[in-house]
A and B are shown apart, each in its own frame.
Chain A
Amino acid sequence: MTGKALLVDEISKLYRIGSASDLVSKDDNAVVRLLKKPLNNYRKYRSLYRFTDEELQGRKSGGDILWALRDVSFEVEPGEVVGLVGANGAGKSTLLKIISRVTPPTKGRCVTRGRVSCLLEVGTGFHPELTGRENIYMNSTILGMRKREVDRKFDEIVEFSGVKKFIDTPVKRYSSGMSVRLAFAVMAHLEPEILIIDEVLAVGDAEFQRKCLNQMGNAGRAGKTVLFVSHNMAAVTRLCDRGLLLRSGQIVQDGSAADVVHTHVSGGHGEAAAREWSDLESAPGDDKVRLRAIRIVAESGAPLGSADADAPVGIQITYDVLEGGQVLSPYFTIVSDAGVDLFSTTDADETADKVARKVGRYISTAWIPGGLLAGGTHYVRAVMRSVREQYRPFTERDIIAFNVIDRDSGKFGTGWWEGRPSGVISPRLQWSTEYVQPEMVIEG
């Protein structure tokens, strides 16, 4: 443990799901069962947090036990910024809750050095009846600050929040943007040794998110240990030194953030950037439309893992219309690895926004011309929408990522050009240069 900020040692967390019927013995008649019910209920509640040795060994693979985490071990050095990546239900939040002491592990041990602050939600403990000033104190102390610490930072927090004028107004009269800013200002002024952040970036506008990200970057630079969970893969790549990929409660990859994100978004199926949903029920969408696949394809139609900057690249969406009658347009936004929306594109087909789709499978591809994207990782946000009917069955952020490789060392390669060209896109523009005779310049 010497020097480690965080040590997670073979942590497992079990949950029991739906066990009521298993506990009633089948031999009893109805009356006995009724009389036994309170006792069975008691056993049932007790079993929610107690597990038999057999269950703990994992020998009995009963259907009522969920291993939210299974023998998870890792260490974090002070000052490391670690991104936790994984699909919903992979165990990210459970892990953070154990580290922040909200819930105990079922097995294993976890050691933290220094104060842990956990930002699971912006504005925890905010009360609408209290004024901004009062809520700053309330929220700060809930997050573990001492009063004198808040006294010292109070003006700074108010300044940062930008709601100085309303600081003595009850928060219930604030706009939602104002209360989020105030809550974030409090968070930004915490000084824990270990900062745990779970999806706080999901709220707020773009400006707020940028502020959050900057603040996190600062925390990392200031030598704080940060554990960061987000579905914003661009943010993970940008902010984290290291990534941990969780799948079904186990760590499947521990490496650089970029590698881990790449494995995650490519679904771990080889190198090709493709995601497919074989199970209709778990696919994004609703009863009318389901997303079935997203692929990055070359001109030939072959799936790609990384695209050549000079060749056209296609983003292909496969979706099933389960109930006809909807006018549907798929819509993509390409996001740079710094989290900047580069551009958005929608199905420009004449019929796309007028004609209702029949039941069946559709495959649409958006072609990005060669010589436009800059080298680096790009993320795709896929939206299915119906403009006229305000219908939006799914919005999937960072659903897929692909790498653009700028191989042309003669132009912007590793040769004479230092690093990457600045800018979020790298269009190949036609240049023309004309030589002007010196004497003509003087005359002109």
Chain B
Amino acid sequence: MSEQSYIDTNVTVIEPVAPWGFIDMRELARYRDLLYFMIWRSVKVAYAQSIGGIAWAIVQPAVQVLVFSLIFGGLLAVDTGGIPYPLLSTVAVIPWSYMSSAMSGASGSLVTNVHLLGKIYFPRAIFLITPIVGSLISFLVSSILIIAVLTYYGVGINMQMLYLPFVFLLMMLTPLSIALWMSSLAIRFRDVRIVMNYFMRLFIYLVPVMYPSEKIPPEFRDLYILNPFVGVIEGFRSCLLGHPMMWDSLLTSASVTIFLFITGGIYFRRMERVIVDVI
């Protein structure tokens, strides 16, 4: 027998209520091969039988930036403090697209995988992590657009870019933390998905994607930056354009996200076993 290569050779005790605690990271680590294939499958299936394939990851944000530039940069002439509008827009649109697609994908992941939920056991968090990591592929591809725009406008390498890994991590953690709460709610209350799809479309006005965050009146800024997405978008802008880091929004975003991540992780652990009975 080759027990070593199998996932669990120990004694498993199955009881009515899961003990309070965070998602079992060790179990998740044991299932990493499955996670790998799930992510790989989601990427492959997303671009199967499409002529453009992964190129769509560049076309979509490019068109969005173009439209925003024409309307807000040209028609409405939003004051950007001297920064060319396409530059301002590109470095925000791409992380925002990632976060919104990762968040709606992860939040709806349990509902879309109901057929697997009722059939077989593996850590349910895999469903959530799959779109979070899977969406990174198109994010990375569309980053080419960021590099192109930065080069075109002559923005060089700067020291702020050292903060990029931190902002990048926060960009992944924010949608995951929200999805930890939303995914199991979405399976119990189908309203959640309807509301989420609707809100994500409105939400773009609550993040500095079409406009610079300086447009927000200072007395509302404290409230504004409570939205964890704001910190991520501002973080990308500062890092990539070499502006001073907006630590207030970045640290607020990190705090809110970590709070949601920990509480969400506990809630998810609590719910992951019973959701199958609520479908």
Contacts and interface: CB of A to CB of B under 8 A. Distances in A.
A49 B277 contact: yes
Interface stretch (A126-134, A287-295, A395-403, A407-415): A126-134
Interface string A116-149: 1010110011010110001001100111111111
Interface stretch (B113-121, B143-151, B202-210): B113-121
A49 B274 contact: yes
Interface stretch (B34-42, B222-230, B243-251, B260-268): B34-42
A104 B274 contact: yes
B11 interface: yes
Interface string A91-119: 00000011111111111111111111010
B6 A144 contact: yes
Contacts of B120: 100, 102, 118, 120, 124-125, 142-143
A109 B15 contact: yes
Nearest to A108: B16
Contacts of B18: 104
Contacts of A134: 41, 44
B33 interface: yes
Contacts of B116: 124-125, 142
Q: Which of A113, A124, A125, A152 has the most CB of B within 10 A?
A: A125
B79 interface: no
A104 B117 CA distance: 13
B16 A102 contact: no
B191 to A, nearest CB: 9
A15 interface: yes
B274 A120 contact: no
Contact of A102 (B15, B34, B119): B119
Contacts of A105: 14-16
B192 to A, nearest CB: 12
A432 B189 CA distance: 80
A102 B14 CA distance: 10
A221 B16 CA distance: 33
A197 to B, nearest CB: 13
A320 interface: no
Contacts of B17: 104
A127 B41 CA distance: 8
Given A142-B120, A144-B6, A110 B278 contact: no
B193 interface: no
Contacts of A142: 34, 116, 120, 122
Contacts of B1: 191
A134 B36 CA distance: 12
Contacts of A97: 118
A104 B15 contact: yes
Given A129-B45, A138-B37, A120 B119 contact: yes
Interface string A198-221: 000000000000000000000000
Nearest to A119: B120
Contacts of B45: 127, 129-130
B187 to A, nearest CB: 10
A159 to B, nearest CB: 19
A45 interface: yes
Interface in B1-59: 1-3, 5-9, 11-18, 31, 33-34, 36-38, 41, 44-45, 48-49
A111 B189 contact: no
A191 B6 contact: yes
Nearest to A14: B277
B196 interface: no
B13 A146 contact: no
A121 B7 contact: no
A99 B7 contact: no
Interface in A1-58: 1, 15, 41-42, 45, 48-49
A192 interface: yes
A45 B12 CA distance: 29
Given A49-B278, A130-B45, A137 B11 contact: no
B48 A129 contact: yes
A118 B118 CA distance: 12
Interface string B114-148: 00111111100000000000000000000000000
A96 to B, nearest CB: 11
B48 A98 contact: no
Q: What 3 pairs between A and B have smallest CB-CB spacing?
A: A101-B121, A141-B34, A129-B48
17 contacts: A1-B11, A41-B189, A48-B277, A49-B278, A102-B121, A105-B14, A107-B16, A120-B120, A121-B119, A125-B116, A129-B49, A141-B33, A145-B6, A146-B5, A147-B37, A191-B6, A192-B6
Given A142-B120, A191-B6, 20 more contacts: A1-B11, A15-B277, A42-B189, A45-B189, A48-B278, A49-B274, A103-B276, A112-B14, A114-B8, A115-B6, A125-B116, A127-B45, A130-B45, A145-B7, A146-B5, A146-B6, A146-B33, A149-B6, A170-B48, A191-B1
Interface of A: 1, 15, 41-42, 45, 48-49, 97-116, 118, 120-121, 124-125, 127, 129-130, 134, 137-138, 141-149, 152, 170, 191-193
